[in-house]
A = this chain, B = another copy of it.
């Protein structure tokens, strides 16, 4: 059942050292504020699960919080590589990380399988690709009707999923709109769900019946954090801060610059900082 909590408490009560955790968002609605709160609370030995680990996972990996990353595309979207993640993989700095790599399709369907109470996802995929050679989680099963070899991956069942959304109503139901990504599946596949939202509205009455909604009884905690997706964006609220993504390439290229940036912009800040960051980006 949804509880409205301050972000620090929502994160503290639902994330633990060693957890498998997904901070999901597909370019849109990336839960930056929740990730920064996790960095401030200094969790350890996390398994980070996400289709597109981008800046927030680069930051968490750079802080040495991750032991493992399960992913399908590790890039700074539209900019280039993830330099803290590369440093961890190539140089074990600040610690080595294990990687489990999939295709987007496999990751999306592994979340969907988790949401569907299935132990695996089965699909027509990975033919001729090398990932099955380096990821033993990828298997093949013969279709009992056609004999075709189909790819299988284990379902994702994260201990906890964090997402950002536009609105909660007063009951704690949550509305996601625009590029909805894989957030509904990531939430329904998880043991616990924490949502940051831009605002709380009295009710969703009068909205179109087929919108993407998570009922309050699927959510553990909601924190109201205006701007909480910055430098990602929130459809209907504020635009993507493309400059910040470009700047991350420079910051993340240098270990000391990175550490200083985290001190100044994460450790030394509170969730309130996000509202200021999107002021110039509101539509």
Which residues of A are interface residues toward B (Cβ below 8 A)? 116-120, 122-124, 139, 141, 143-146, 148, 150, 152, 154, 177-178, 180, 208-212, 235
Contact = CB atoms under 8 A, between A and B. Distances in A.
A117 B145 CA distance: 14
Contacts of A150: 118-119
Contact of A120 (B145, B180, B209, B235): B145
B178 A209 contact: yes
Contacts of A117: 124
Nearest to A236: B209
A171 to B, nearest CB: 21
Given A119-B146, A144-B152, A177-B208, 6 more contacts: A118-B123, A119-B150, A177-B210, A180-B210, A210-B210, A210-B211
Nearest to A148: B119
A186 to B, nearest CB: 17
Nearest to A144: B139
Nearest to A122: B122
Contacts of A120: 122, 143-146
Which of A119, A152, A180: most chain B CB closer than 10 A?
A: A119
A148 B120 CA distance: 10
29 contacts: A116-B123, A117-B124, A118-B122, A118-B123, A119-B143, A119-B145, A119-B146, A119-B148, A119-B150, A120-B122, A120-B143, A120-B144, A120-B145, A139-B145, A141-B141, A141-B144, A144-B152, A145-B152, A145-B154, A177-B209, A177-B210, A178-B209, A178-B210, A180-B210, A208-B208, A208-B211, A209-B235, A210-B210, A210-B212
Contacts of A146: 119-120
